[in-house]
Amino acid sequence: MKIAQKILNLFKEDKNQVIGVVMEKSALLVGVLIGIIKSKNSFIILEPSSTEFTLSQIKRFKISKIIYHSTNLLEEISIKSFPNSIQIEENLFFYDTGLAENNNYFGDERIAYAIQTSGSTGFLIPKKFLITRKTNFSLPNRIENILKNPKIQKKIQKIPQNIQKFSRKLFKKFIKTPPPPNKKFLKTKNPLKQQNHSSILQKSLKNHFLILGEPKIVHVPYSCIMPNIDDFIQRFSLTSNSSILFSTCLGFDPSMVELFLSIKLGAQLIIPPKEIIGGISYSILKKFEKINFVQTTPALLQCLSTNCLNFIFGPNSSIEFLLIGGENFPLNLIRRYINCSTKTRIFNVYGLTEVSCWASCFEFNCENIGHFSNDSIPIGNPLLETKFGINEEKILQIYGRKCFVNFSINKEEPTNTGDIAFIKIINEEKLICVKSRYKPQSQLPSLELETFILNAFPQINFAKLVFVGACKFLFLKADGEVPGINTKNILTKIPKRLWPTRIFCLHKMDIRSNFLTSNGKIDETKLIDYIKLNYYNKFTSLLNFLNKNYNIPLTPTLSDLSSSLKHFGIGSLEAVEICFYLENFSTSKKYF
């Protein structure tokens, strides 16, 4: 490949430098990366569509040189920003950022590539203790201030007297009696008991310097990524004749597995059209007689059409090995489609960016899948040069492969995954199962409720609990309309301590086009925006909202005025939803 040789010649004098590559997924990109690898430098792929790409980003990654495809040159970065520009070939340019080159961070380790985490996974839980804060119930004070506003007072005066009194009574009652925080969970040394926390703050400890939820800069040495590559080549018997689907987003570390497998083997790398979110579709799979290696996420798999899923799990599937990872394994969905004639081999892969990508692998088939439930899904045996351990707090730890995180590394310490793990014995075999990963959205009992729903309702293949302040919104989706399943029926089965604020069914929604991130995971912000626009925004006033949701009359009687909030079914769960409504719509809606 000529472009690879040009890049090799361009960087042959440099060693172990991070080269920024601003290009879309293409054959040209692969050629550029091969040239960088051969020059013994590393790369970081910055997609042209990314709003993150700024001069400050270049400084954060300490990027010394950049290769741009000029048709994708971002408006915010002008050519003048970079001195010493060189044209490599038509539409392809090289820029020197002018930053001082320094590879002392990595010692003797050769770096393969760099990547930035989203900040939502893989943070470290302190060994000693976790500190929590109480839910903030200061919002009712805002309601009091709203009622005292002169403009609101004028509007209130125009409202019939009985409705005025009744509305004020509603406000006053839930202002004075906010739901109390659960004191039992204010402070604990055991991460297993963290599930009822409203939020969590990580205290700085030696060797545990990463802040919860912050994006991390990860530089991946060859000593970390190559055991993953070598293991998969052996495990799946991949050769130069194999075909690999380049399906995952370039900002998602599994894409590096696809790339390095293809480069090491000289295997075919299939690049799907960028219009196909997640790179998998019925048309792509039908186009190729055989695709040996495919990776995807549970969320993306759940978004595929019934025809596509029937094809993947049928006797004529073009996929030989399908690896599913990045989120909790979609056991309900796989059970529904896998059968004795399924040709595709299905694997649950587990890992995190700090060890490069995948750390373990477990195969499911029609014979063993019945032995497992959603709260005991095995992650399998560790890959080459990787070992697992479970510490006294029952947190899974990874030994062996270790990356540079924010330009630092401590090879003496294991990598804490932040995942609760346990051993389960099935057919006399000890299997490691991961209970949950503590992400910002998972501090409260999200996984417990999601797991309960999936176990209690096998027809439901998607359950997501999202937190907004003290509110808990549960999103559900089944494969088509499921008779006999409705929100009232679901609530009767859920333990009251796990009740969500409200349940939203997404049966008719296209999750793939509306709610997926580029990494093939659920975008929780888009879910919340959707319910704000399509549910809460439709109410014309607060009283209209209370009437429709809690049967509070629009024209209250004297009997209504003397009733308590409990009479209308308003408790702490309902109070936080009223707070949510006021917080998000108080400036655009009437109160009465």
Q: What is the C-alpha to C-alpha distance for residues 124 and 130, in angstroms, rounded to an integer?
A: 11
Q: How many CB atoms lie within 10 A of CB 364?
A: 22
Element (H, E) at 583: helix 572-585
Distance CA 328, CA 179 (A): 32
Report pLDDT for 251: 86
Q: Which residue, among 383, 390, 374, 307, has the nearest Cα to 352 in the 3D structure?
A: 383
What's the CA angle centered on 40, arms 400 and 35, to 5 degrees?
Answer: 120
Please state the pTM of the whole predicted model.
0.75
Element (H, E) at 351: strand 345-351
Per-residue pLDDT, 398 = 96
- Residue 211: its pLDDT value, please? 36
pLDDT of residue 325: 94
For residue 186, the model assigns a pLDDT of 36
DSSP 209: -
Domains and CATH numbers, the chain: 1-105 (3.40.50.980), 116-124+211-438 (3.40.50.12780), 443-534 (3.30.300.30), 538-588 (no CATH)
- Residue 339: alpha-carbon gap to chain centroid: 29
pLDDT reported for residue 198: 29
Q: Are 53 and 74 spatial neighbours (Cβ–Cβ below 8 Å)?
A: yes
- Angle at which helices 222-235 and 254-265 cross, to 10°: 70
250-266 burial string, b = 16+ CB within 10 Å, else e? bbbbbbbbbbbbbbebe
Look at residue 375 in the predicted model and tell me its pLDDT.
82
* 3-state class (DSSP) for residue 397: strand
Question: Which pLDDT does position 49 carry in this prediction?
Answer: 56
Task: Specify the pLDDT at position 82.
Answer: 57
CA nearest 503: which of 554, 440, 562, 460?
460
pLDDT in tens, 239-256: 999 999 999 998 899 999
What is the structure's pLDDT at 546? 84
Q: What is the predicted pLDDT for the residue at 447?
A: 74
**Per-residue model confidence (pLDDT) at position 181:** 43
3-state secondary structure of 552: coil
pLDDT at 122: 35
Q: How many CA atoms lie within 13 A of 20 on its CB side?
A: 27
pLDDT tens track for 143-197: 445 555 665 555 555 555 555 555 555 555 444 444 444 443 333 344 333 333 3
d(CA 27, CA 269): 9
Stretches where the chain sits below pLDDT 70 are 47-56, 71-84, 100-103, 118-214, 436-446, 479-485, 558, 560-566, 586-592
| Burial (Cβ within 10 Å: 0-12, 13-18, ≥19) of residue 545 | buried
